[in-house]
Structure 1
Amino acid sequence: MGDTKQSSLNIVGGGHVGKVLGRQFAAAGAFRIQDVCNRTLASAQDAVDFIGSGRAVATLAQMRPAGVTMLAVPDDQIVAGCAQLVQAGLLGAGSIVFHCSGALSSHDLAAAREPGAVLASVHPVRSFADVAQVAAQFAGTFCSVEGDAPAVDALRAALERSGAQVIAIDTSAKTLYHAASVFACNYLVSLMDVALRTYAAAGIPDDAARQLAQPLVTETVANVFRLGPAQALSGPIARGDWATVAKQQRAVDSWDPQAGALYELMAELTAELARRKAGLAGGGA
């Protein structure tokens, strides 16, 4: 595994992820930040100010070739962005180019193989809603990495130097891997929205509903990670109280058919989890 300390890094895309990773790489001395390109010069300068080093530019034509290039742009701009890097002559033999999408793989950078670049993707498993907080608490962040071995080795070294925990994943499983993160993060938020709206439909004021739900959610999530999902399961299905489940199903259906369909599907999945819980209990008898 090579020492990446002296490698120059170009950043294309000065949004939340680009800012945080750039700042961590710079602070740890993992890479020397060279040029940062964003949609406008002002936004690129804002990213440079947050990172603490680098030169802000507004176009790829103003960038200088670097040993490593990070494409921290939205998913739908990655393929085109990579092609533009190639057209601008910013990638060469042995240079590393990686993107930060959780959903796409390094295969989406295939255009960069023509000039001889090696490809990878890095996905930090964090919510980047508050960039200052994420940057301050980045140590221990899990980052998945996949792609060509030379790129993966160099990025693993840089990420570990920056305090991350690195997990290598199979390129062919990248989409399924990202779906897991969506379930754990985005869909959890959507599920909580349904729960809070259900409280509201029952006449509970919004502030009170959040106060009611918070200990349930925090204690349940803590139990999931402490005990595992099966052992953390409680409630009517875990008790086999199908009369209560049926009564709730009718009430939710009457209030909101879409929420009712979700309740029905969740009941099916929870019943399967309850069967696994019973099997664990039986196995331990």
Structure 2
Amino acid sequence: MKTLNVIGPGRLGQSLARLAVDSGQYQIGGVLARSEQSAAKALAFIGAGQVCLQLADLPPADLWLLAVPDSSIAAVAVELAAAQVVKTGDVVFHASGALEANILAPLQAQGALIASLHPAFSFADPARAVLTFFGTPCAIEGNAAACKLLNQFAQAIGGVPFALAEGGKGAYHAALSMAANYLVTLADLSLKTAHQAGIAPEMANSLVLGLMQQTLHNIQALGPAVALTGPIVRGDAGTVQRHLEVVGENQQAPYRVMGLATLSLAGDRVSPEQARQLKTALTQAEHALCTSGN
């Protein structure tokens, strides 16, 4: 049975540690937190491990999880290397979605196998996370030997591991941010435009969010290109122009940018002449905004 040390038992750290214990394939060694009280609270949830208040106090382990904020990972890696408690061949990994394994380079220099494992999951509540984690995609990158062991770890806790290309972490995180964050912003812009049409808030929510959910189902079943509908894929530049004339000022720039991206996605479903008219309508809106700003 392999041993896991946890540095930073916040919501993610607690959740992964508890899942590791529940798998029956890992035991928890040390749990290091900012205070003895927070470490003890984490241990009560995890159900195993020992409280550690200094990096030098951490016991030997096969895997070391740095579940600290992204802004602290580099500094903790340096401090952990200085503590000289990680042995050659130990796997040290972080769970950042944006940072690559090489941020742990000081530990690699000491013989550690470094990697990152990022579960595409929201750990808002550890108790709920443990119950609903099964099937979560887990992005893994770093040292090949470390990745092999983290694949086993991810599978043991109920995740579905997949590999990222070398240097692909930035694109991976950008993809997630666009899918999650920008979808929320798009919903907000659509709802505001619906309100501009005089639609009551409750009906606007039903109308816009219901259509978004239906579209997501279509994308999953058919793929983005086939799921695409609307005036742009129909080559209807007149409707696009009318949209730009009526949407609010804050909605015009996003509409234009998304319209050009949609035109690209439509591909040869739009004739060259239709594509020219659509591009003209969308870029003229940009010119008009720039002129009015001057």
Q: Report the TM-score when normalising by structure 1.
A: 0.88
Distance 1:60 1:269, change over 3 A: same
Tell me what 2:135 maps to: 140
Please state whether the residue corresponding to 1:144 is helix, strand or coil.
strand
**AA of the residue aligned to 1:157:** Q
Tell me what 2:253 maps to: 261
Tell me what 1:214 maps to: 209
Distance 1:19 1:268, change over 3 A: same
Aligned counterpart for 1:248 among listed residues 243, 247, 255: 243
Query: Are the equivalent residues in 2 in contact too, given 1:106–1:171 (CA < 8 A)?
Result: no
Superposition CA RMSD, Å: 2.0
**AA of the residue aligned to 2:210:** P
**AA of the residue aligned to 1:248:** H
Which segments of 5 or more consecutive residues in structure 2 lack a partner in the other structure? 272-294
Is residue 87 from structure 1 mapped to residue 82 from structure 2 by the alignment? Answer: yes
Tell me what 2:162 maps to: 167
Q: Greater Rg, structure 1 or structure 2?
A: 2
**AA of the residue aligned to 2:42:** A
Aligned counterpart for 2:93 among listed residues 98, 102, 118: 98
Query: Are the equivalent residues in 2 in contact too, given 1:23–1:51 (CA < 8 A)?
Result: yes
Instruction: Give me the whole-angstrom Cα distance separating, in 2, the residues matched to 1:161 and 1:48.
Output: 20
**Relative to structure 2, which stretch is displaced further, 187-196 or 119-128?**
187-196
Instruction: Give me the whole-angstrom Cα distance separating, in 1, the residues matched to 2:16 and 2:249.
Output: 42
Query: C-alpha offsets along residues 58-85 of structure 1, whole Å, 9 cap, x if unaligned?
Result: 4434422322110111111111111111
Tell me what 1:55 maps to: 50
Instruction: Give me the whole-angstrom Cα distance separating, in 2, the residues matched to 1:51 and 1:129.
Output: 16
Distance 1:55 1:207, change over 3 A: farther
Distance 1:199 1:52, change over 3 A: farther
Instruction: Give me the whole-angstrom Cα distance separating, in 1, the residues matched to 2:168 and 2:131.
Output: 31
Query: C-alpha offsets along residues 20-66 of structure 1, whole Å, 9 cap, x if unaligned?
Result: 21121111123211122223333333322332222233443442232
Instruction: Give me the whole-angstrom Cα distance separating, in 2, the residues matched to 1:15 and 1:206.
Output: 37
Query: Are the equivalent residues in 2 in contact too, given 1:230–1:276 (CA < 8 A)?
Result: no
- Structure 1 residue 105: deviation in Å? 0.9
Give me the identity figure in percent: 39
Which segments of 5 or more consecutive residues in structure 1 lack a partner in the other structure? 1-5, 280-285
Please state whether the residue corresponding to 1:101 is helix, strand or coil.
coil
Q: How does 1:92-241 map to 2 (within 5 A)?
A: 92-241=87-236
Distance 1:201 1:65, change over 3 A: farther
Tell me what 2:262 maps to: 270
Query: Are the equivalent residues in 1 in contact too, given 2:235–2:270 (CA < 8 A)?
Result: no
Q: How does 1:10-89 map to 2 (within 5 A)?
A: 10-89=5-84
**AA of the residue aligned to 2:66:** L
- Structure 1 residue 276: deviation in Å? 5.1
Tell me what 1:282 maps to: none
